[in-house]
Amino acid sequence: MGGAPDMFGFTFKQLRYIEAAARTGSIANAALELNISQSSITAAIDKCEQELGYELFIRVPAKGIATTPSGEEAVRLIRGFIDSARHFEGDMRSVGGKTTGTLRIACYGTSAPHVLPRLLKHFVSIYPEISIKLLEGDMRTIMDYLENGDADVALTYDMVVPAQHNFAPLFEAPPHAVLQYDDPLANRPDVRLADLAKKPMIMLDLPHAREYFTKMFERLNLTPNIVHSTRSAEIARALVVGGFGFTILNICHAEHDGRESGYIVRHITDRTRPPVFGIARLANARQSRIVQAFLEHCMNLKRQNAFEEIVVRPN
């Protein structure tokens, strides 16, 4: 008896070409990323469209390509298949006893310098065969990485994780004020938003973050006096040290309280639901041995209270 015929006439390599074209929005960009000719990308798209009987992309002169509604669904399936194949390869290599492969972690940029070293220090020593690929960005970008299949897990706040996804909480991160070391409010054990509203504020101007901090004041019918804004928590702290105002953050720098750092952090007494930082995963995604190992490691750190040093609690 002869072997079963192929369901489709395109290859795994061609599926990778199509996924890259959809993700980059351009045949030229996909070719550059994959280091192949543009004609190979075009041929893969044409072959797939011919086999499927519908268009995957709309060609827009001078602007690149855009997925059709059917193409968007097809690309979602392709990404899932590619991701499953990658995990399958890692699991096959791990059969001999060593968990191996690549773990792709997307992490909210302002928290990455404080969270990632704690999460990865012992993990990479326990699993030396696993390589780590890190992706950083704001909260909106992080979720895009996860939903587009670029990341296996996303380290972010619960406020941006859709209900249909899985979320494993690691720690609560109540907001705190960052004040210049010799600010009069620094003499208090904690501060109120009413006191802060009278002072110049340096706003962390990132998607979701700005809205979150602004609403903290609005709930009390207060308006923050925003005089500077930045997309970097480190720059916000530097401006505080320079005397330009205060800022509000949720995760502390390791050296957060002293004359040497030039600033003081103080708990904000006004009652507000603290955001929860944790690990987001797609609910329908296959959980590889690598991801399972990482989740177990993170939960162990949570039980050990490994994150207490980077949050500010009431005195």
pTM passes above 0.75 = no
* More confidently predicted of 302 and 101: 302
Q: Can you give the pLDDT at residue 196?
A: 97
Residue type, 122: H
At 276-304, the pLDDT tens digits run 999 999 887 667 788 888 999 999 999 99
Fold of 176-268: D-Maltodextrin-Binding Protein; domain 2 (3.40.190)
Confidence band of 260 (pLDDT split at 50, 70, 90): confident
Judged against a pLDDT cut of 80, whether residue 80 lies above it is answered with: no
Cα–Cα distance for residue pair 312/315, rounded to 1 Å: 9
pLDDT in tens, 205-241: 999 999 999 999 999 999 999 999 999 999 999 999 9
CATH architecture for the domain at 98-172+276-306: 3-Layer(aba) Sandwich (3.40)
Tokens found for residue 36: 């192949």
Q: Can you tell me the distance from the alpha carbon of 185 to that of 170, in angstroms, rounded to the nearest whole number?
A: 31
Q: Check residue 195 and give its pLDDT.
A: 96
- Coil, helix or strand at residue 210: helix
All CATH 1.10.10.10 domain ranges of the chain, comma separated, are 12-77
Q: Find, among 262, 273, 264, 251, the residue nearest to 189 by Cα.
A: 264
CATH 3.40.190.10 in the chain, residues?
A: 98-172+276-306, 176-268
Reported confidence tier of residue 2, pLDDT bands at 50, 70, 90: very low
pLDDT of residue 79: 80
Rounding to the nearest 10 degrees, give the CA dihedral for residues 302, 308, 310, 312. Answer: 130
Alpha helices for the chain (secondary structure H): 12-24, 27-34, 38-52, 69-93, 112-126, 139-147, 193-196, 209-218, 233-241, 289-303
**Structure tokens, 300:** 């162990």
Report the DSSP pairing between strands 263-268 and 247-249. Answer: unpaired
Report pLDDT for 261. 83
Assigned token pair, 225:
């006096």
The reply to whether CATH 1.10.10.10 applies to domain 12-77 is yes
136: pLDDT strictly greater than 50: yes
Task: Give, in order, the Cα–Cα distances in Å from 157 to each of 18, 66, 144.
Answer: 32, 31, 14
Model confidence pLDDT, tens digit, residues 109-131: 999 999 999 999 889 888 888 88
